[in-house]
Structure 1
Amino acid sequence: MKRRASDAPAARGPAETAFVSVGRSYVLRGRAIVVVCCAAFALLATGPEQLPATATAAVAAVVWTVLHLRWWERGMAPRTVACADVAFLAALCLTQGATVPAAQEEHGHAWVLVAVSVAIVAYQFTHPPLVGAAAALLLAGADLLGVMLGRPDTWMAAVPQILWLLVQAAMGCALYQLVLRRCRAEDRALAAAAQARRRHKLSRERRRAEEEYLAVLHDTCSATLLMAAAPAGPPAAVLRAQATRDVGRLEALRAAGEEVAAEYEKA
């Protein structure tokens, strides 16, 4: 079944294109910087007994984040990359029993939670709202499961921080949609102004074509008719040739005027 022209997605305007491009670039690069910092702080805060597991998870997080950024910038299979990204982050959440120090009582300070939270917010800027919401719910659930597995006795204390992940996702989505609507309104205003300028230009061209047509009609055709009516006018062959030239010129001007009028109606 063919898609109708009205069903096709509207092309992005310059303001929306710039916002989406710059916003995604800044968000993804900011996410990479935060994850690298989280990994570094995790290595500094981890004791010797958890250092191997934490180092493995931290290095994997940094490597994956860099690869994720490069793939996004190259536009390589965005759906596959998104699914793999959510799967990796969910797996990272499940390692908290081995990668987050047991002495760290406040879950909000866990490096895994910080890395996941910035990824959840980034999803609101890089994916449609439904995809961003699904990613937020999946990662929040994975984080909760990771805390339950790692700290079965105190996991209830982490619930407020995990719920805050969903609040962050909602706020990020709302902010993105708000700015996106403003950009689209700006694009509509620019398009309307450009259309008005084009219609004004075509209107002037249309008037100029009409004036030129009337001028030619007066200066050439009327003169030819006047010569034909004169008693001592030129020969009939000369008059016929002149009349043919006059008619040809008028036809050319009329065709040009009709073309301008058609463009004006389309504008």
Structure 2
Amino acid sequence: MITDVPRYSPEVPRPIGPSESELARSVSWYALWVRNAVVVLSGVFGVVAVGTDGALATACLVGYATAWCFFQTYWRFRRPPTDWFIAAEGLMLLSVTLSQVHLGPQTVGSWTFVVVSITTVTCHFEWVHWPAGGFIVAVLSIGSYALGNLLSGHDEGVASHCLGFAVQSFLAWMSLALVRAGARAADRIAERAAHRRREAAIAAARRAAELEDLAMLHDTASTTLLMVSSGTLDSDGWLPDRARHDLEVLGSVPGTVARDVDLSSLLRTLSEYPGVPIRLDIRGPLTIPAKPAFAIFLGAQEALNNVRQHAGDTDVCLCAGRDHGGRVLVELRDLGCGFNPADVPTHRRGISGSIVARMSAAHGIAQVVSRPGAGTTVRWIWPGSEGRDQHVDHADRTTTA
């Protein structure tokens, strides 16, 4: 049973989409590696550039910051960052910036300045899943740098430096927000496209089900009523059994029945098809799923109706069995007047819809071979979903048992 799907509503809040999630993962790792690389490399140059008096203290600070960078990277490989990372990050920043009390003010170009500068830029990308965390780290960086300078007795240019840190941190956050907005838009577009594809698939399934129902109705009750209304056959003898049979077929709902059925038993009921004498050569049992069984049975019934209406007096033979590969092969042959399949009008759906398309929907093959004056052969092959071209060629050379 096909059910309706909820209509797309852009106002409904949604979880992070695949594009935004992949963007967040990528920028987080990129920012982490860039920041760690800058901190470590600038620390090495900072140790080399500092005088001998502060070399040991600077080396200890660089070692501490480097250890934190490696530990942070190792942790991120195992699991997402936690809230205590903020405290650990703040402790590292305070250690670096407050070292100015002992080492003296660290102006533009110093290791401390570089650490604060890169941290205020990358913090928003590192904490992309928690924007508040990025702002906390940025404030800690700028505030601790200003505090370290003030405690060291150097306040010249500190305000302008802190303002520059704040501006570049805000610009980094804005750039990330714009990129994330683009990723969200891409996710919304992909979601709408997927929703339209789902609706189209559901509509196609409904249409296919409707066509199958119409084809079944055409091959059962409609055909019976047409035979009665034409008055060409005496309906007293065969009509009750025929009507009862049509009701049984309509009640079986082909395509939804999960059980297997014996195709040979279904085909034997065609021996009493009104107005068409039939010779049967059925070697069974032929137990197959219900959908292909009914596709073959209803297709054979439609083919017999065409024989009765168009072929004239003819010898009809219905053969069914299995080949050496275990496939079910069914053939309905007549020696009537035949026809040219290319001349059949497109609005006539007996062959294309009730026989070929129905069998194709059951993952099988149906072939109609005919030419004027040479009779008609209708052939059904199941299973036919794999190696279709090979099966068709083999079926053209095989005489059904």
What TM-score do you get using the length of structure 1 for normalisation?
Answer: 0.80
- SS of structure 1 residue aligned to 2:83: helix
Paired amino acid for 1:73: F
User: Structure 2 vs 1, CA of residues 63 and 251 (structure 1 numbering), >3 Å: closer, same or farther?
Assistant: closer
Q: Which runs of 5+ in 1 are unaligned?
A: 1-6, 254-267
Q: Is the CA contact (8 Å cut-off) linking 1:71 and 1:81 kept in structure 2?
A: no
Are 1:130 and 2:132 an aligned pair? Answer: yes
Question: Which stretch shifts more, 113-122 or 36-45?
Answer: 113-122
User: Structure 2 vs 1, CA of residues 9 and 41 (structure 1 numbering), >3 Å: closer, same or farther?
Assistant: farther
- After superposition, give the CA deviation of every residue in 1:28-79 in whole Å (9 maximum; x if it has no partner): 0000100011110111101111111111001111111111122123225521
- After superposition, give the CA deviation of every residue in 1:139-194 in whole Å (9 maximum; x if it has no partner): 211111111122x1x32322211221111110111000010001100111111112
Q: Which structure has the higher relative contact order (CA within 8 Å, separation 6+)?
A: 1
| Partner of residue 55 from structure 1, selected from 31, 51, 59 | 59
Q: Is the CA contact (8 Å cut-off) linking 2:224 and 2:242 kept in structure 1?
A: no
Q: 1:7-22 to 2 correspondence within 5 Å?
A: 10-22=14-26
**Equivalent in the alignment of 2:280:** none
Q: Is the CA contact (8 Å cut-off) linking 1:147 and 1:155 kept in structure 2?
A: yes
User: Structure 2 vs 1, CA of residues 134 and 170 (structure 1 numbering), >3 Å: closer, same or farther?
Assistant: same
Provide the C-alpha distance between the structure 2 equivalents of 1:29 and 1:9, rounded to a whole number of angstroms: 33
**Equivalent in the alignment of 2:194:** 194
When the two chains are superposed, the root-mean-square deviation of aligned CA atoms in Å is 2.7
Question: Which stretch shifts more, 75-84 or 27-36?
Answer: 75-84
- After superposition, give the CA deviation of every residue in 1:79-100 in whole Å (9 maximum; x if it has no partner): 1122211222122211123346
Question: Which stretch shifts more, 241-250 or 133-142?
Answer: 241-250
**Equivalent in the alignment of 2:42:** 38
Larger helix percent: 1
| Partner of residue 69 from structure 1, selected from 63, 68, 73 | 73
**Equivalent in the alignment of 2:87:** 83
Q: Is the CA contact (8 Å cut-off) linking 1:54 and 1:98 kept in structure 2?
A: no
Offset at 1:227? 7.0
Are 1:231 and 2:235 an aligned pair? Answer: yes
Provide the C-alpha distance between the structure 1 equivalents of 2:84 and 2:55, rounded to a whole number of angstroms: 32
Offset at 1:204? 1.9
Offset at 1:198? 2.2
Aligned length: 242
User: Structure 2 vs 1, CA of residues 8 and 113 (structure 1 numbering), >3 Å: closer, same or farther?
Assistant: farther
**Equivalent in the alignment of 1:220:** 220
Provide the C-alpha distance between the structure 1 equivalents of 2:256 and 2:218, rounded to a whole number of angstroms: 16
Provide the C-alpha distance between the structure 2 equivalents of 1:189 and 1:39, rounded to a whole number of angstroms: 45
**Equivalent in the alignment of 1:140:** 142
Q: Which runs of 5+ in 2 are unaligned?
A: 1-10, 258-401
Provide the C-alpha distance between the structure 2 equivalents of 1:47 and 1:228, rounded to a whole number of angstroms: 113
The structure whose Rg is larger is: 2
Provide the C-alpha distance between the structure 2 equivalents of 1:155 and 1:220, rounded to a whole number of angstroms: 97
What TM-score do you get using the length of structure 2 for normalisation?
Answer: 0.55
User: Structure 2 vs 1, CA of residues 132 and 8 (structure 1 numbering), >3 Å: closer, same or farther?
Assistant: farther
**Equivalent in the alignment of 2:151:** 149
Paired amino acid for 2:110: A
Are 1:206 and 2:206 an aligned pair? Answer: yes
